[in-house]
Structure 1
Amino acid sequence: MLPASPRQAPPLDTRLGIETPEGIELLLRPAGLVPRALAFAIDLGLRGVLLAAGYLLLSGLGHLGTGLAAIGFFLVNWWYAVLFEVLNQGRTPGKQLLGLRVVQDDGTPIGWAGSLIRNLLRLVDMLPFGYAAGAIACLNHPQFKRLGDLAAGTLVVYREQPAQRPELPAANAEPAPFALHMAEQLAILELAERQAELSAQRARELAALLAEPLRVAPEQALARVNGIAHHLRGDAP
């Protein structure tokens, strides 16, 4: 199977177009240094809260508590980001609050290997202090990659919000009197969704064109179209 091929956007556009082997084009928006730093700061604060809470709970157990605290420190510091990224669609709590997620370079979800590599190499990104190496790499890369991303083949992008479909006019959901082709379904949905943009007379005129195939009187066609649109959306009758 051929790998996904990136298509560069114009120079002033930071979006990255990726075409999958199936011919589907994904449009990704790489996240810059500032939102990534804010997301990291949020995650750092949450890790600090977890470690402080664990220390308070285990401090009264003597040497056993010290050993358990050391194990907890290791797990939180090294597995916090990995577990969230792999099990939560590339999102740590900080990334989720900032609307970011980590993906592979081809737009596919991040896996265990990619997440482990990018997070282990934070040690290199931190050199010589204050994440200087990672910040410099991020600012000098067209997709704002730090060194860990370059090694792991990963990309931090803005999470696309699903488009909200327009509200449909009030009507009881009812099926069409016959099987509809995809083009017919789309036409009915578009007419119902666009009624707020049309005059009442124009909406009735357009719906009347469907009166005969829908087996209703022209004056009832608009209500029938709206009912079928609700049914196509899966609304309860």
Structure 2
Amino acid sequence: MSLDTLYTAETPEGIALSLRPAGLVARGLAYLIDFAIRLGIFVTISFAVGMMGKMGVGILLIAYFCLEWFYPVVFELTRAAATPGKRVMGLRVVMDSGLPVTPAAALTRNLLRAADFVPSFYGAGIVSMLWRHDSKRLGDLAAGTLVVFSDQVSLHGSLPVAEPQAPARPLSAREQMAIVSWAGRATRLTPERFEELARVAEPVLGPDTTGASASQRLLGVAQWVLGRRNGAGAADARGGAGR
């Protein structure tokens, strides 16, 4: 049995996203940081309205309600998609498709913290996070959300190794850029989408005499565009271009 903490999601465009769900410890520490911030705000407001009598009590109750239920929602709908505590821990909230969290999902996951709290001290939520490989609590399950580490990723990687292949016709600069960009996304696209896009470029591949897939042949063209002519896909591009 292999252990894998990665969660793979596929966007409607066919791009495969590898997300790393945050576990109990990281999320627990983020919650404690947010709790300290909310407590500080509540204490400050209580001092400010302490001399206002019943009106002050009413304001304090409204402040408590907003801090408890809407503090996370407001921050999760920002560009960072995270409360201050989550940002300190390098976390963010996304939909389980990898897309940005929606207002409805943010509201649902936070209102259902009441269910996670059952029977006490977030018992149900803790059990759910420990049980599932994606560390979803009950609110996340209902809202279709994930709390993940927000490590930056590169949309373009190194080109896969392929035998250089000359295109069937001269390529414009724009076409060369498109092919190299496509090849650099080999690890970001699902195999099906990668092959589908390669078939779009079949006119520049010429007749197939090797039985290789369209994607493998187009990868060869990408290597050729980069100046690699010696039959080794891993050769240095500048060295190949100088020949």
- Report the TM-score range of the alignment, normalised by the length of the smaller protein: 0.5 to 0.7
User: How many angstroms apart in 1 are the aligned matches of 2:98 and 2:113?
Assistant: 22
**TM-score computed with the length of structure 1 as normaliser:** 0.65
Q: Label 1:67 to 1:161 Cα distance change in 2 as closer, same or farther (>3 A).
A: same
Q: Label 1:184 to 1:95 Cα distance change in 2 as closer, same or farther (>3 A).
A: closer
Q: CA RMSD in A?
A: 2.8
Q: Label 1:88 to 1:51 Cα distance change in 2 as closer, same or farther (>3 A).
A: farther
5+ long unaligned stretches in structure 2 = 157-171, 185-222, 228-235
Match of 2:242 in 1: 209
User: How many angstroms apart in 1 are the aligned matches of 2:123 and 2:180?
Assistant: 57
Q: Label 1:208 to 1:127 Cα distance change in 2 as closer, same or farther (>3 A).
A: closer
User: How many angstroms apart in 2 are the aligned matches of 1:153 and 1:129?
Assistant: 24
Which residue type is aligned with residue 17 of structure 2?
A: L
Which structure: greater helix fraction? 1
Residue pair 1:89, 1:109 contacting (<8 A) in 2 also? no
Say yes or no: does 1:125 pair with 2:158: no
> Which SS does the other structure have where 1:90 is aligned?
coil
Say yes or no: does 1:34 pair with 2:5: no
Which residue type is aligned with residue 133 of structure 1?
A: A
Larger RCO of the pair (alpha carbons < 8 Å, separation 6+): 2
Match of 2:147 in 1: 156
Match of 1:16 in 2: 7
> Which SS does the other structure have where 1:17 is aligned?
strand
Residue pair 2:32, 2:85 contacting (<8 A) in 1 also? yes
Which residue type is aligned with residue 242 of structure 2?
A: L
Once the two structures are TM-superposed, the CA of residue 64 in structure 1 deviates from its matched residue by 2.1
Say yes or no: does 1:64 pair with 2:64: no
Q: Label 1:122 to 1:206 Cα distance change in 2 as closer, same or farther (>3 A).
A: same
Residue pair 2:109, 2:143 contacting (<8 A) in 1 also? yes
> Which SS does the other structure have where 1:18 is aligned?
strand
Count of paired positions: 175
Match of 1:50 in 2: 41
User: How many angstroms apart in 2 are the aligned matches of 1:21 and 1:122?
Assistant: 30
